[in-house]
Amino acid sequence: MGMTPEYLIVDKELVREVTVKQFDHFTDRQPFARRNVDDLLARSLLSLKGDDWRKMRHNLSPAFTGSKLRGMTELMVQIGVQFTKFVSSRSNPDEPLDMKVTFRRFAADVIATTAFGTPSNSLQDSNSEFFVKGTSLMDFTGKRRLVILGYTLAPKLMQLLKIPFIPAELKDFFTNIISQTIKYREENNKSRPDMIQLLIDERKAQIQKCKDANKPVDSDTIMSDLDILAQAFTFFLAGFETVSALASIICIVIAGQENVQIKLRLEVDEAFANSEGGKLTYDAIQGLKYLDMVIAEVQRLIPVAAFGDRVCTKDLHLPEFGITFKEGDIVGIPFYAFQVEKRYYEDPEEFIPERFSEERKAKVPPFTYMPFGSGPRSCIGNRFGLLEVKIALAYTLAFFDLELNTPDQYPIRLDRKKLDNAPIGGFLLKLRSRENPVVDPESL
Ligand code: HEM
């Protein structure tokens, strides 16, 4: 019996070839879940293949343009304000705060308001159902680990045994929220600048197009409720752990490097001094250039996703590389390995945000820096995620001083026994309310 070969790309030019130039031969990645595992996950942009993927990516892309992000900034900033109030109530240096859990609450609130179109109150209510259920959805330990293993090894048997991939209670909860939102907005003709609205509007446009062309309105021509639901669900899956992991790792770096913290604080203070009542605008956030450099450099050294893959969908011979890929071959792309390669980065292990300054970032060799992947199948939420992380960090820096909980937390060493990029020493930091913040947090 033949095995599917696994290739590991070690040449950046081959990354270009596979992810961009020959994309038609590598449109898919290994599916997150097959149709026989879970229909919701199978309809997710993460898992869709070929033309189904193309159509859905085309439908979703308008949700992530600069103008749509600008429109969603206000919703995210409201969560930034709630985040500040939440941390203020807990900023006691004697009781360190778990930054990962705190940013998870922030990320859950952002996704709830922008993708599900409903508040989740994860920051205001420690027992928020959305947060509690979302956290258990993303918990892949204990019994869930066995279920995932079962589906990897014997999906048919798992279905025969009627063991669902996602516990029914969790799936029903999220499905109901979305279904109710769609129903309410369609029946009441209500609108809001969020992602679910974009999908509802896109479906309306598809229906109109069918009617204009006298074509039947069916699941082949328009997005189904399941499609819309699957994408909102995807945004939760793709944006919850990634954003909270990145923001919390950056906080440890900031706490470990006082000079970086001082410089960031100056930049953020200026933005808040020019703001109206401490509400940052899209342009003010985009103007935080040093913060952008720090985030970029942390993503180089400690990327949330260290590895990616593509599946060959059509045979391809590449004579210049002396390789023939066959349909079904799996090609691994070690994003992280390129990012710490000394041929491309001087002192690759050193934390030097200036590598990403306006003047220097153009010199970063293409296809050696891929925190959001590469090519048409790269992260669709790239700019959305960065905006979110910047808002979370700007509000943290404007109102709190960050201090390591234990000296062994920095320089960061990852706990290789854990799969989730957990640093040795954990995510606990001591937070103290700043003595003279530019804006009074009470006035927010
Ligand atoms: C800062 C946080 C984030 C990081 C580091 C990150 C990273 C990534 C990476 C590495 C990939 C795979 C790219 C490839 O294979 O080339 C990916 C895919 C994806 N991400 Fe993100 N992501 C982040 C936030 C988000 C957010 C907030 C969303 C949604 C709101 C999102 C939605 C997606 C989706 C839907 C895909 C699949 C795209 C496709 O297959 O067409 N991500 N992400």
pLDDT digits (tens, 9 = 90+) for 155-190: 788 878 888 888 889 989 998 998 899 999 989 988
For residues 346 and 111, give the distance between their C-alpha atoms in angstroms, rounded to a whole number.
Answer: 37
Please name the residue that has the structure tokens 């499609």. 227
pTM: 0.94
Distance of CA 373 from the midpoint of ligand 1 (Å): 8
Distance of CA 78 from the midpoint of ligand 1 (Å): 24
Give the architecture (CATH level 2) of 6-443. Orthogonal Bundle (1.10)
Q: Do 202 and 209 form a contact (C-beta atoms < 8 A)?
A: no
Does the beta carbon of 311 sit less than 6 angstroms from any atom of ligand 1? no
How does pLDDT run across 363-397, given as a tens digit for each residue?
999 999 999 999 999 999 999 999 999 999 999 99
114 phi, psi to nearest 5 deg: -90, -30
**Every domain of the chain and the residues it spans:** 6-443
Distance of CA 209 from the midpoint of ligand 1 (Å): 30
Does the beta carbon of 238 sit less than 6 angstroms from any atom of ligand 1? yes
Query: For helices 225-256 and 289-301, what crossing angle results, to 10°?
Result: 100
Is pLDDT above 60 for 1? Answer: no
Please name the residue that has the structure tokens 């002396």. 322
155 upstream amide cis, omega within 30 of 0: no
Quote the strand ranges of 200-352, DSSP E: 308-311, 316-318, 323-325, 330-333
Most ligand 1 atoms within 8 A of CB, residue of 379, 380, 382, 391 to mutate:
379
- Starting at the edge strand that comes first in sequence, how are the strands of the sheet with 400-404 ordered? 97-98, 428-433, 400-404
Does the beta carbon of 295 sit less than 6 angstroms from any atom of ligand 1? no
Distance of CA 29 from the midpoint of ligand 1 (Å): 13
Tokens of 362: 């153009």
Residue 98's identity, in one-letter code, is D
How does pLDDT run across 269-324, given as a tens digit for each residue?
999 999 999 999 999 999 999 999 999 999 999 999 999 999 999 999 999 999 99
Residues 6 or more apart whose Cβ sits within 8 Å of residue 186:
200
Give the atom of ligand 1 at the shortest distance from the alpha carbon of 304. 5
Please name the residue that has the structure tokens 């006691």. 92
Q: Report whether 379 belongs to an annotated binding site.
A: yes
